[in-house]
Every structure is written in structure tokens, then in C-alpha cells.
Structure 1
Amino acid sequence: MELDTTRPFPRWQGLRAGISRATLDGPGYQRVLHGVVIAAGVPITPRVRAQGALACFFAHAFASHATAARVWGVPIETGPGEHVTVPVAGERLRRDGVTCHVRADASAVVVDGVRVSSLPDLFVELAGDVPLVELVVLGDWMVRRKGITPARLIGACRSAPGVAGRLARRAAAYVRTGVDSPMETRLRMLLVLAGLPEPRVNVTIRDVDGEPVRRFDLSWPEGKVIVEYDGRHHVEREEQWEVDLARREEIDDHGWRILVVVARGIYRDPGSTVDRVWRLLRARGVPDVPSRPSQAWRPHFPGHASYL
């Protein structure tokens, strides 16, 4: 029996192919999961672990939940362990390190040679494991980077049951188009959960002649207010930093106010960020700004150093 040892395979297949137990246990092979090995020297990537998780299942099983998320390369942290979904309970298997789910109506696609959950299904699957803000980060990423529409995510969540289904539907309602980065999403969600008017995403600012000057992360055009997330990449690229400063000065000349938020203002001191933005919106006369910010953001942004 010919066996491709550069792909994960169950030990029993190796034995059937004529590889001895001593050889399988020797330095020529490495463990992927319990009972599943691969040739030594092959990097154990998320793709390889997904293949290993599927190695003992029938062909129409697929990697799902956190396993599928890692294969897709989603921009959020996922929990440990591998996940496989099968269409009927009779195909469910017990395997160490693998959680098996049963879902008859799930859809799968092939990514990097591995059958995985489709993105709308993955959004719903992760609602049971991922907090609200990170689920919105995932949705914004799917829309911006993978061409999924917010309407498709809302549709996928419509009949999802239980607490996870409710969280998925709530998160899908916050997903927006054109969001450039996960930190933009986190900043926007901090402000929205604080009860502030929702900003417009990535509006292009133009000069008096109608020429585009710059596109900013979050803005309230009615008050000429801009809030931007500023990451370390600006500091590390001095030339880009200088260009950004010049553009900000030009925007200021046209009556706009710019407030810059860094990672500390989201992870370590979110309350200060909420207060700064709230005060600026009030000062600039932006409609529907509350008399005080809501405290509903607090469970989602604890503001501890351990969250960095």
C-alpha cells in the first residue's frame, strides 16, 4: 500500500503499508495528534493539524470552529484543540484532542487543500467561543478581506439556536463594510458600546477643490470630528509618520479635529478613550451624543494589562 508520509496519517495506515512500529516511533516520524503521525521535518502548521484531525474521519467530514479559523487565517485568537464537523451522528468519533460536532445543514469549502467550514458558518460556530467584540472583528475581516456581505452573515445567523445564536445575531448587526483593521473594529465597538453615535467608517476627506486629502478610520462629518487608531507601524516608519503629521495639519486647516488613539487607549485605559471622544463630540455639536457615556462597554473592555 502506497502512503504519502508527508501528509498526516493514522498509525494503523502506516502499519498496513508495511512501516514497522519501531520505525513509526523513531526519529523519522513526528506526532501530529494522538494516533496520527507525519514524516519528521514537515512543519506542523494549522493546515497540517487540520489534516491530522480529519485523518480518521469519512471524506465528507470537515474541519470547523477554531480549526477552520486557523486554516482561514482569521485575525483573532482561537482556543486550543481541534474541531471536526460531520453530517450525521453515526459518523461521530471520539479522539483525543479533537471535538466532534454534528450538523446536517453545514456547508464546507476547500481552503489550502483542506475541507473547512464556509465563512458564514464559521462566524456562527465561533459565536459559542468568541466574545462579542472579537466576533465583530471577525465579521469585519470577512467582509473586507474575503468578500462576504454583511447580509450573508445576518442570514447565516438567523436560525442559529441558543445563546451562541443570539450572540451571533447581535455581532452580525455591528459588522460594517470597508473596515481596514481589527484595531479599527475594536475602537469603533468601544465607542458604540459606550452609547456614542456610531461613526462613519473610512470616509474620504476632500479639500475645497474636491480633491481627496485623506481617508480616516472613524469620523462624524456633521461635527468635523475624526478618530484614528495609530499603531506602532507609524512610529517605526519615520517617513510615513512625517507624511501623516503633514496630512493631519492640512486636515486641521479645514476645520476638522483629529483625536488619535493608541493600543493603550483600547486595552489598558479604555475609559479614558471613551471620555476623550465623548467630550470632543459634545464640544463639536455632534447630534445624539448622550449627557454621559453608557457603561455598557465595561464587560467587553476590562482594561487590564493582561489583555495586551
Structure 2
Amino acid sequence: MPTAQPFRRGQRPPGVTDWHLRTSRFRRLFHDVYVDREAELTPLLLARGALLVAPDATVSHHSAARLWGAVVPDDGFVHLTCPTRRPQVEGIRTHRCGRPKRATRWRGLPVTTPVQTFLDLAAVLSLVDLVVLGDSLVRRKRVTVDLLVEAATAHRGTGGRLARKAARLVRADVDSAMESRLRMLMVLSGLPEPVVNHKIHWPHGEVRFRLDLSYPDDGLVIEYDGWQQVDSQTQWGSDRDRREWLDGNDWRIVVVIAKDLHRTPAATLSRIRAAMRGRGMPVPPVDDEWRRHFPSTSEDLREPA
């Protein structure tokens, strides 16, 4: 009978023959590891399959981050940390365990803790991707900002310096990875850090609106708009009401979409800086560190004459 759980050829379900494994009823995940074709290829299922190849390993790095519900770049591999033998299997990337790892069990699988996962990925991710990871771990309530900072401060392994820098930039209440990236573009360019998830309340105290990134004292909102991915009429209506309220209460809104970050970050920074000047805010000189993390199709960040 077909099964939604991965299995090796030698432990196949009763009634499944070699001929069945060669048909479209089954999918080969890794060498000698199969699963029912209809099974959803979730991070959990892929991790279960990889552990059949290396039963003494621990799910780590990118794969652990996905199990924790965090945001991490997709490199196409399942990552395992192995205490002894490191099997060479297509689709699985193994890591040597040079020192004891902080690990736990999640849904029956051995997996590095959220803190250990953050520290491990500090050795392979960029600063911005590591902050995105940290923001998302905090958002999922897997860890706190203070705990990440404490662990990164004590970390002396590979990537320790980057871990410490990224941990100090992680924030709570960040709604999305793109908001994290927008905040990092601003901070790395030398702008003062905006307030994350500022709340505007009704007179009786209930939260009315939340602002992605803002300078409340100056009435300026920097908002990432992912409307292309939102089908909910309710959400669209809420966003419209919020913007109309802000317009009517002398707030200035700068809206940023995906291409503004991925293709034209220099122009995006110019817009934000111009809006800050328009609100009478001091605007510091540009720090070029942002260019290392946000390639731009615009060569210069042009300032008004």
C-alpha cells in the first residue's frame, strides 16, 4: 500500500515491489529513499527521508530553520550535521560536528535548537539574510531577541562576528521578510532605524492600525506593499482605510514594492531620504555599506542639488 512516509527499499511497505518503485506511484527523494508520489514534499518529510540515510545525524542549518518556520534562502539541499560518518548523497548536504550541538526533538526528529540554527547559519548566510532569519525566528516565537544576542555574544565559532552584528539588528514584531530587508536597506545606508510595528490606537485604547516602519515623531511611514500577493478584499480594504487615515492626519507615506528593493534600491533610498527632508528630519550622509547587500541597477544614490 502507498505511504505518505518516506522509506528505504529494504523497509518498503508490504505489497510494494521493485516494479512499483519504478512506476509513477512513487517518487525517489534520495538514493534508496522513496515516498508516495502524492505526498506533499514538506521540509518535515524531506528531513525524515534524509535521516533514513544518516540515522545518527541531526537536522541543521537551512533545513532546521524551515522546520522552525523561519525564513531562509532555498539552496535545494536537506542539511544534516553528522557526528561521525558523513554520507555523500545527492540532495543532502552534510556538516561535520566539530563540537557538541545544542539540539532538541521536534515532531520526533532531532533538530538543532533555534539559537544553534541561527549560529550555524551565521557561517554561510549574508548579514541581511541572517537578520531576516532572526526576525522570523522571533516572529514565530522560537526565540527572543535577548536570547539571540546573548548566544551570539558568547559564540566563538565560525561566523561569530557576523552572528553578533546580525543579532544586534534583529527585532521583534516584524511581519515579513521583505519588511526586514527594507529596514536593513535603510539602516545599512546610515539612516536612523525606524520604529517597527508602531501602533495607532482608538480613543478607548484598542489597536486601530499598525505601521510597518515609521518615524512616529516626524509623521513618516515607510511601508512595504506586497499587494500583488494579497487576494483578500478585507485586507485590501484595511490597507486602504489605514492610508486614508494617515493622509488625513498629516502623515507622509513612502510605499515600497518588491522591485524597489531587488532592482532599484538606490532610487528607493533617494525617495526615503527626500521624504525625510520633506518632514524636516535631519538626514545623515550616505553609508555605502548597503551596496554590499543590495545590488542596484542605478549606479548612484543621487541627492538633490
Query: TM-score per shorter chain, which class?
Result: 0.7 to 0.9
The equivalent residue for 2:293 is 300
Q: Note the 1:1-308 alignment, pairs <5 A.
A: 6-14=4-12, 25=22, 29-59=26-56, 61-86=57-82, 88-89=83-84, 91-103=85-97, 104-157=99-152, 158-162=154-158, 164-206=159-201, 213-233=208-228, 236-237=231-232, 240-287=235-282, 289-290=283-284, 292-303=285-296
User: By how many angstroms is 1:236 displaced?
Assistant: 4.7
Contact in 2 for aligned 1:207/1:254 (Cα 8 Å):
no
Gaps of 5+ in 2: 298-305
Question: Against the structure 1 CA distance between its residues 240 and 150, is the aligned structure 2 distance closer, same or farther, given a 3 Å change threshold?
Answer: closer
Structure 2 CA distance, aligned partners of 1:181 and 1:44? 23
Are residues 252 and 206 of structure 1, via their aligned partners in 2, closer, same or farther at CA, if it must alter by over 3 Å? farther
Code of the aligned partner of 2:30:
L
The alpha-carbon deviation at position 201 of structure 1 amounts to 0.7
CA–CA distance in structure 2, aligned partners of residues 160 and 48 of structure 1: 33
Instruction: Return the alpha-carbon distance in structure 2 between the equivalents of residues 109 and 171 of structure 1.
Output: 24
1:37-72 superposed Cα distances (whole Å, 9 cap, x missing partner): 33554344322221121113345x321112223333
Name the amino acid aligned to 1:35. D
Kindly provide the amino acid, as one letter, of the partner of residue 71 in structure 2. P
Q: Distance in 2 between matches of 1:138 and 1:52?
A: 24
TM-score, L = length of structure 1: 0.82
Q: Distance in 1 between matches of 2:196 and 2:148?
A: 19
Give 1:182 deviation, angstroms: 1.2
* Distance change (3 Å), C-alpha of 1:250 and 1:56: closer
Q: Distance in 2 between matches of 1:4 and 1:121?
A: 36
Determine the C-alpha separation between the residues in 1 that align with 2:230 and 2:25. Answer: 46
Q: Which runs of 5+ in 1 are unaligned?
A: none
- Greater Cα offset, 37-46 or 191-200: 37-46
167-176 or 66-75, larger mean C-alpha shift: 66-75
Percent of aligned pairs with the same amino acid:
40
Inter-CA distance 208–234: structure 2 relative to 1 (3 Å threshold): farther
Superposed CA offset, 1:192-222 (max 9, x none): 1110011111112357897755221111123
Work out whether residues 69 and 78 of structure 1, in 8 Å CA contact, stay in contact via their aligned partners in 2: no
Whether contact under 8 Å (1:184, 1:217) holds in the other structure is yes
Structural RMSD (CA): 3.2
Query: Which whole-Å CA distance do the structure 2 matches of 1:211 and 1:40 have between them?
Result: 48
Give 2:286's aligned amino acid.
P
Inter-CA distance 159–247: structure 2 relative to 1 (3 Å threshold): closer
Q: Which moved more, 1:269-278 or 1:256-265?
A: 256-265
- Partner Cα separation in structure 1 for residue 15 and residue 205 of structure 2: 73
CA-CA distance at 1:277 after TM superposition: 1.0
* Aligned length, in residue pairs: 296
Deviation at 1:251, TM superposition (A): 2.3
> What are the Cα deviations for residues 12-44 of structure 1, in whole angstroms up to 9, with x where unaligned?
4459x9976556556665322112233554344
CA gap of 1:40–1:220, structure 2 versus 1, over 3 A, is: closer
Q: Distance in 2 between matches of 1:85 and 1:33?
A: 17
Give the AA of the match of 2:9.
R
| Residues 168, 18 of structure 1: alpha-carbon distance in 2 compared, 3 angstrom cutoff | same
- Is the Cα–Cα contact under 8 Å of residues 234 and 240 in structure 1 kept in the other structure? no
